[in-house]
Chains A and B, each alone.
Chain A
Amino acid sequence: MLDRLGSGLKDALKKLAGKTVIDKAAVDELVRDLQRALIGADVNVKLVMQLSQAIKQRALEEEPPKGMSVREHVLRIVYQELVNLMGHGAEVQLGPQTILMAGLQGSGKTTTTAKLARYFQRKGLRVGVVCADVFRPGAHAQLNTLCTKINVPCYGEAEEKDAVAIVRRGLGELKHAEVVIIDTQGRHALEDDLIDEIVRINELTHATHRWLVIDAALGQQARDQARRFHDAINIDGVIITKMDGTAKGGGALSAVSETQSGIVFIGSGETIDDLERFDPDGFISRLLGMGDLRALVERAEEVIGEDDVDMNALLKGKFTLRDMYKQMEALKKMGPLKQVMSMLPLGGMDIPQDAYDVTGQKMERYRVIMDSMTDAELETPSVIGGSRIHRIAMGAGSSPDEVRELLKYYKTMQRALKLFRGGGGGKFNMQRMMKKFGGM
Chain B
Amino acid sequence: MFGSLKDKLRGVKDKLGLSIESAAEAAPEEPLPVEMEESPAPVPAEGPGEEAPAPEQKTAKKKSTLAERVRVLVTEREVMLDEKDVAEPLQDLEIVLLENDVALPVADAIVEHIRSDLVGRRRKIGASVDTLVMDTLKGALLNVLGEGFSLTGYIDSHERPVKVLFTGVNGTGKTTSIAKIASYLKKQGYSVVIGSGDTFRAGANEQMKTHADRVGVKVIRHQEGADPSAVLFDAVQYATAHNIDVVLADTAGRFHNRANLMNQLEKIRRVMKPDLVVYVDEAVAGNDAVIRAEEFNNAVGTDAVVLTKADMDPRGGAAISIAHTIGKPVMFLGVGQSYDDVVPFRPEDVVDELLREED
Contacts and interface: CB of A to CB of B under 8 A. Distances in A.
Interface string B268-298: 0000000000000010111111011001000
B99 A42 contact: no
Contacts of B101: 219-221
Interface stretch (A121-129, A132-140, A171-179, A197-205): A132-140
B99 A108 contact: no
A190 B312 contact: yes
A137 B210 contact: yes
Contacts of B208: 137-138
Interface stretch (A238-246, A369-377, A385-393): A238-246
B255 interface: yes
B199 interface: no
B44 A142 contact: no
Interface in B201-239: 201-211, 214, 224
B286 A219 contact: yes
B284 A218 contact: yes
Interface residues of A, number: 57
A108 B172 CA distance: 10
A219 B321 CA distance: 12
B292 A146 contact: no
B287 to A, nearest CB: 5
A28 B43 contact: yes
A411 interface: no
Interface in B82-137: 95, 98-101, 103-104
B139 interface: no
Contacts of B99: 45-46, 220
Nearest to B95: A45
A104 B208 CA distance: 20
Nearest to A25: B43
A94 B176 CA distance: 37
A135 B339 CA distance: 13
Chain B residues touching A, range: 35 or more
Given A145-B203, A246-B292, A106 B285 contact: no
Interface in A75-125: 104-108
Given A104-B309, A107-B171, A248-B288, A219 B337 contact: no
A35 interface: yes
A359 B258 CA distance: 10
Contacts of A190: 311-312
A188 B309 contact: yes
Contact of A219 (B45, B211, B284): B284
Residue of B172, B259, B286, B309 with highest tally of chain A CB at under 10 A: B286
B180 interface: no
A130 interface: no
B133 to A, nearest CB: 23
Interface in A196-240: 215-222, 225
B77 interface: no
Interface stretch (A48-56, A280-288, A303-311): A48-56
A317 B317 CA distance: 49
Given A45-B48, A105-B173, A242-B171, 6 more contacts: A49-B45, A221-B313, A246-B257, A247-B285, A247-B287, A270-B170
14 contacts: A42-B286, A42-B287, A45-B99, A53-B47, A56-B45, A105-B173, A106-B308, A107-B171, A137-B207, A144-B202, A145-B224, A218-B285, A221-B315, A247-B287
> Nearest 9 CB-CB pairs, A to B?
A219-B286, A142-B203, A138-B207, A137-B210, A106-B171, A42-B286, A145-B202, A247-B288, A138-B206
